Structure 1
Amino acid sequence: MRRSEFTALADHVFGPVLAAAYARELVIPALGGRSAAQAIAEGEDVRRAWTALCDAMDVPESRRWEIPPGQRHAR
């Protein structure tokens, strides 16, 4: 998983403003008491950081891994 995929999924699941805040501010015990952004910056696997964020926010498995085609942003 690339950082860009993390960002796209987080934006889809939480909305862009909350996604940025959660990634930057939410301290996640499964990531050693770091935020997802901090963990990634320190070399943590991006997929592990995404899974830990989803677990911490109780995101159902069905919403974690795919953005429906009609809701994808053109890049």
Structure 2
Amino acid sequence: MRRTDFWERMGETFGPAYAASVAADQVLPQLAGRTVEQAIAAGEDIGDIWRAVCVAYGDRVPARLRR
């Protein structure tokens, strides 16, 4: 997954402003207690980060975006 795809999915799921907030502020256990931004900065695979978001926000991520 490319970063642009990741951010498009985040924006579609949360809205552009809230997506940035989720990425910066929400610590996800699936990312070893880091935020999305911290995981990206650490070089984690962007697809793994997206899957972590899907698990953490399963009720918000549309099924068609979970691939």
Q: TM-score, normalised by structure 2?
A: 0.85
Alpha-carbon distance in 2 for matches of 1:62, 1:30:
19
For residues 38-75 of structure 1, what are the alpha-carbon distances to aligned partners after superposition, in whole Å with 9 as ceiling and x for unaligned?
Answer: 10110100011011012111235614258xxxxxxxxx
Deviating 4+ runs (over 6 angstroms): none
Alpha-carbon distance in 2 for matches of 1:20, 1:29:
18
Q: TM-score, normalised by structure 1?
A: 0.77
For the pair shown, the structure with the greater C-alpha radius of gyration is 1
Alignment of 1:9-48 (within 5 A): 9-48=9-48
SS of corresponding position for 2:53: helix
Offset at residue 30 of structure 1 (A)? 1.0
Q: Which runs of 5+ in 1 are unaligned?
A: 67-75
Aligned to 1:53: 53
Q: Residues 60 and 7 from structure 1, CA distance in 2 versus in 1: closer, same or farther, beyond 3 angstroms?
A: closer
User: Percent same amino acid at aligned positions?
Assistant: 41
Q: Which runs of 5+ in 2 are unaligned?
A: none
Aligned to 1:62: 63
Question: CA RMSD for the aligned pairs?
Answer: 1.8
